[in-house]
Chains A and B, each alone.
Chain A
Amino acid sequence: MKQAIAVLQLPGSNCEWETARAIARAGGNARVVRWNEPAEVLDRHAGYVIPGGFAYQDRVRAGAVAARLPFVQQVARRARQGAPVLGICNGAQVLVEAGLVPGMREDALDLVLGPNRMMGRDGYYSRWVLLGAGPAAERCLFTRGVGPRLLPIPMAHGEGRFATRDPIVAERIPSYVALRYCMPDGMDAIEFPHNPNGSIASAAGITNEAGNVLALMPHPERAILRAQVPEELGSFVRGGPTEDGPGLGIFRAMVEFLEEA
């Protein structure tokens, strides 16, 4: 019996179905679980994905209200017990607001996700970006297999800039970066548009100390087929149009981790 992965449906989630399909394609057993189902339902799952969207309308700050739901708090408890938890886009915002990543301190949030900093524009921004392994990639169960490859994956958000005012956090944060925005030559992307939001340490995905939680702003569930990769990034992927796309590996790693557990 495969261990089930819960894809959380919060009020305002809007990527839950394609995320569940991506997990299924990766060989996993995904179920969409609604926010007002009893929290015990979550205990019957072994892994958790908080998908993209606008949970609770991004009231206060993106992810802030959802992070305080008992339902999400239950996922946080499971994360502290070592269960794999992936937050994508708005889900990443929820994990940051819940204090799960990077989780340096117990009593305070280390990071916030600020509005994108972009040259000559503001608001929402979407494009395909190149992601490469960061210093924490080997520690993080979702990104262990990335190696030296660059992964084309689309991002789409208005508030995706990992930021902090605390100089100690700023100094330590690179060691939590599992995936970073890259230039085509693999160097850190510092500037817009390769770094699409001005994120600290070119961070696209941040993990915790144990490596079982990943807050990832770009959307791997939108890159599960080779054919989805835009023409100009075709040189970064191999194989025919119906072969696995660059985003699938993240889900596959999660499924494999659960199978080995």
Chain B
Amino acid sequence: MIQTIRLLGVEAEEARRELERHGIRAEPAELIGVARRLGRDLTVPEAFLLDVSFSEHCSYKSSRRFLKALLPPIARHVILGPGEDAGVVDLGTVEGDRYALVVAHESHNHPSQLLPVEGAATGIGGIVRDVYCMGADVIGVLDGLRFGDLDGVNGATARGVARGVIRGIWEYGNALGVPNLGGDLAFDACYDDNCLVNVVALGIARADEIIRSRVPEAARREPYVLVLIGKPTDRSGLGGASFASKILDPEAAETNLGAVQIHDPFLKRVLVEATKEVWNLIRASGDEVGFKDLGAGGFGGASSELALAGGFGAEIRLDELPAADAEPNPAHLLVGETQERFVWAIPERIAADVLAIYNEHFDLPGIYPGACARVVGRVIEEKRYRCSWNGQMAVDLPAEILEEAPTYDRPVRARAIAGEEGSLPEPEDWQSFAERLMSHPALCSRAHVYRHYDSEVRGEALIRPGEADGGVCRPIAGGFLGIAVSLDGNARWCDLDPYNGAAATVVEAVRNVVSVGARPLALTDCLNFGSPEDPECLWEFQECLRGMRDACIALGLLDGSADALPVVSGNVSFYNQSAGGARIRPTPIIACFGRIDDWRRSLRPHVQSPGSGIFMLGHAAKALGGSPALDLLSRSDLRLAPPRPVLARERLHLQAALGAIEEGLVIACHDFAEGGLLAAALEMLMREDGPTGLGLELALPDTSMGRAEFLLSESGGFLFEVEASLEEHFRESIRREGVEAIRLGRVVETPRLRIAGGGVPTIELDLRPIHRAWAERLGPWMEGGA
């Protein structure tokens, strides 16, 4: 029996009560508007579907106008930009075939705060589906994580969330068989009530085999059906998207728990293996198809978008949807976010073959009770989305209502930014300071976390988490094409100065892929902010976007072209704040993807050869705001300026660095930013298992800054190790871009870091205790306590 909700001729407050009675949190005015346009009340399934479609998470209703104006222009090599489940860029030809890189980036913040294991696992489960549904095999995942202060008043909760999230990531990713290629981890009290779990997936496909998430034009020439595959719809994950678009309310914990999905990587693996067989089938037959994953909005969201995006409509028989419940509720079937499902639009002619692959060859019903592939509807030419339930009308909405979600022109209000450069005193004892610096949560070794992750599955990893500034894999068996990837975010910089903080984050992400020898191809982003209804928060969002855009345009692709570095996919996550009203610091998390023409030339940061020279290339400016050094030597609440990159010069530095690396003039390369030159120099001398056995003798150049300021500023740049006989070549190569590398010193056999100059006693650092402090911080911190 399909119920209706009275929306015509009632007051907004009455409508709200009526909607809430059914568990719908939508803004009543939005649904009343729809009812008026239709001239009738809405059915309960319609109200559920519109609730999801109009949610901030799905509709970008507060962010759309900013994204439209402020995303950088799309470069030539972009095959598919923002708008679909994943972005696609051209990788060029390898051994005769043209390949494409498929990338997706999402958040799963609120579910992970409530149920950390399930929330994080379904985050990974969802992001890999976004790549699979483009016809690409997943070659890696990354995770950007923000947890509360483990030592703070909410430390026990934050620790539980952190441990659960990491368990969810490894339980899912390791079982599915997708390698972890890196991540980004930070701790801050602003995430005490609202952790961030951002997930990135990348995949590879032949460029001509990319599948779109839309019904193809061929559906005008022959009948097309919609085939739902995967787990039967259950009660988990009801209203996940609209819940992600609200502030977490502890009072509603029980309702919220129902909105978290349940993961099953075991079923997913079989589903993916079967799907690869279907790809082979349709590639052989040459049929045009559409394929989409079921995420936010469940079946209703995915099937309506699949049809409408192609300029078609769909007719669905909800009673055909496989259900876990004996007496399913049609609205739940429509929008429940049960995991491990996809929907195909395929010619009716091949449906029996496709069903046989899933149901017989790969025996889905034998693997998981109720799992299967089933025809549940058909494509229609009329641009309407219709669902029936036992012959009764359940949904009947024209395309324009589903596609034209309301947008909001919310106000922005600027707030003060940190512009003071400030100063930093000399530490009294450099040895103990260096130990404290390298054990700071912002800088200490992440090995405790990434050792949970399987980075080697698929057998393609070349540079793994913790080994260098970015991860590198070789996804194509023939040839030498390497893919590099890094993930970065610095909310402390963005809090002090959203524009410059976000621009510096982009520079940092690009530097990381250049450091391993790769040319940047594209970015993806996840923009984590508080409530867009707060004008200051929305201003932070706008400024971060502006900073990113300017950086993308200024840096470009480092290939001599005028193209901007494109942002090809991403996600906006608003309402990240506690029930008490405190919003998180603005946290854009940026992934940078790059290509290495010959992976045999990829670089790591550790120095290798005594006698070789150490050079610095970077902008020596005071940038102490938000730095761990400021925490340790001054006051962490001091609002000093973060890095303010001079973007045109950063481009020259990046081009010069990449040029020298590609000419084979560099033995090791490491970027510096967080923790400054000192942290970077120490990192070049330490690996997970211990100091490398070599040392550095450096002398400070003349500068107007104090020694501590020079060594600890986060303005950023590169450190290179260059073989003694190639030093002049190297300098020349760098000069070609009109910039100058500064020789800081050389590699020595004594395992110490010595820093002379500046008219003060030489700094001499013993590496063993520093390594111990760096390596042994995170494990006990995360595992300790309750």
Residues on A facing B (Cβ under 8 Å): 9, 11-15, 17-18, 21-22, 34, 36, 52-54, 56-57, 120-121, 123-127, 154, 156, 219, 221-222, 224, 227-228, 230-232, 241-242
Contact = CB atoms under 8 A, between A and B. Distances in A.
B452 interface: yes
Contacts of B423: none
A18 B779 contact: no
Most chain B CB inside 10 Å of its own CB: which residue of A14, A53, A219: A14
Contacts of A22: 459
B429 interface: no
A11 B455 CA distance: 21
B219 interface: no
A12 B269 contact: yes
A54 B269 CA distance: 10
B633 interface: no
A118 to B, nearest CB: 9
Most chain B CB inside 10 Å of its own CB: which residue of A13, A156, A219, A224: A156
A6 to B, nearest CB: 16
A241 B454 CA distance: 22
Nearest to A14: B177
A124 B780 contact: no
B459 A123 contact: no
Interface in B507-535: none
B687 A232 contact: yes
Given A120-B780, A228-B461, A156 B265 contact: no
B686 to A, nearest CB: 11
Nearest to A127: B451
B175 A54 contact: yes
Contacts of B779: 120-121
Interface of A is mostly: mixed
Interface in B163-202: 167, 170-171, 174-177
B396 interface: no
Interface string B589-615: 000000000011000101000000000
Given A156-B456, A228-B461, A121 B783 contact: yes
Most chain A CB inside 10 Å of its own CB: which residue of B167, B451, B455: B451
A77 to B, nearest CB: 23
B451 A12 contact: no
A221 B266 contact: no
A126 B454 contact: yes
Given A120-B780, A124-B174, A242-B600, A12 B459 contact: no
B585 interface: no
25 contacts: A9-B273, A11-B363, A12-B270, A14-B175, A15-B177, A36-B361, A54-B266, A54-B269, A121-B451, A121-B783, A123-B170, A124-B170, A125-B452, A126-B455, A126-B456, A127-B451, A221-B459, A222-B459, A227-B599, A228-B461, A230-B464, A231-B606, A232-B688, A232-B689, A241-B600
B448 interface: yes
Interface string B763-783: 000000000000000011001
B454 A156 contact: yes
A11 B363 CA distance: 9
Contacts of A228: 459, 461-462
A65 B459 CA distance: 26
Contacts of B174: 124, 156
A105 to B, nearest CB: 32
B457 interface: yes
Given A54-B266, A120-B783, A126-B454, 10 more contacts: A12-B270, A14-B176, A14-B457, A18-B459, A18-B460, A21-B477, A54-B175, A124-B171, A127-B451, A231-B606
Contacts of B176: 14
Contacts of B171: 124
Contacts of A121: 448, 451, 779, 783
A109 to B, nearest CB: 24
Contacts of A18: 457-460
A14 B177 CA distance: 5
A231 B783 contact: no
Contacts of A154: 456
Most chain A CB inside 10 Å of its own CB: which residue of B171, B175, B265, B599: B175
Contact of A54 (B265, B361, B477): B265
Contacts of B457: 14-15, 18, 52, 156, 222
A221 B461 CA distance: 12
A194 to B, nearest CB: 10
Top-10 shortest CB links A-B: A14-B177, A18-B459, A57-B266, A222-B456, A156-B454, A54-B175, A222-B459, A154-B456, A12-B266, A241-B600
Interface string B245-279: 00000000000000000000110011001000000
A126 B451 contact: yes
A13 to B, nearest CB: 8
Contacts of A12: 175, 266, 269-270
A23 to B, nearest CB: 12
B562 interface: no
A21 B475 CA distance: 13
Contacts of B467: 230-231
Contacts of B367: 11
A126 B687 contact: no
A237 to B, nearest CB: 14
B720 interface: no
B224 interface: no
A28 to B, nearest CB: 16
Contacts of A36: 361, 363, 366
Nearest to B364: A11
A21 B458 CA distance: 10
Contacts of B689: 232
Contacts of B461: 222, 228
Nearest to B171: A124
A18 B269 CA distance: 15
